[in-house]
Amino acid sequence: MNNCEFCDLAPDDMKWLLYENEYWYLFLADRQDYAGRCLISCKRHCENISDLSIEEWLSLKNVMTNTEAMLKDEFGADVFNWSCLMNDAFKQSVPEPHVHFHLRPRYSKPVEIGNAVFKDKEFGHHYNNKAKPIDNKTAQMIFERLKANVHKYFK
């Protein structure tokens, strides 16, 4: 694949890796506009949900379920906004979409992370696609906390 950013993962991407299994990567999203926002990416270059194998689909359910449990326990998420969009691939002249899911945890209450407080200003409404991300230091703290505890949820 020439243009697929998910097949050609850079060290800067891999530093956000929380978990992987045979079929999927679970990353903390580098853009932490919602505290604990994650990205689940298929390990192989699969262009749409239709083409996922049954094994990949069942494994995805497992990754989603465990990630929801983790974010509920660690940060108190109330509900989870899942999306699989793949629009960016269609900015290329030869689109090479690659199945990945965005997970934005949503919070009815403020979330304390170190000295920072994340407030979900649009709770009960569609996520804000242009929300300002959390500062880098706090994003790093979120990563470290999840990385230290992810094994509890993926047994």
Give residues in contact with a copy of itself (CB under 8 A).
Answer: 48-50, 52, 54, 57-58, 61, 64-65, 68-69, 78-91, 95, 97, 106, 108, 123-127, 129
d(CA 88, CA 86) in angstroms, rounded, equals 6
1: its two tokens: 């694949």
Nearer to a copy of itself, 53 or 149 (CB): 53
Closest-CA residue to 138 (of 23, 33, 42, 65): 33
Shortest CB 78 distance to a copy of itself, Å: 7
Shortest CB 6 distance to a copy of itself, Å: 15
Nearer to a copy of itself, 83 or 149 (CB): 83
* 25: β partners: 20, 41
Shortest CB 90 distance to a copy of itself, Å: 4
Q: Name 23's Cβ contacts closer than 8 Å, sequence gap at least 6.
A: 42, 43, 44, 55, 56, 59, 60
Shortest CB 4 distance to a copy of itself, Å: 14
For 124, other C-beta atoms within 10 Å of its C-beta total: 9
Nearer to a copy of itself, 106 or 138 (CB): 106
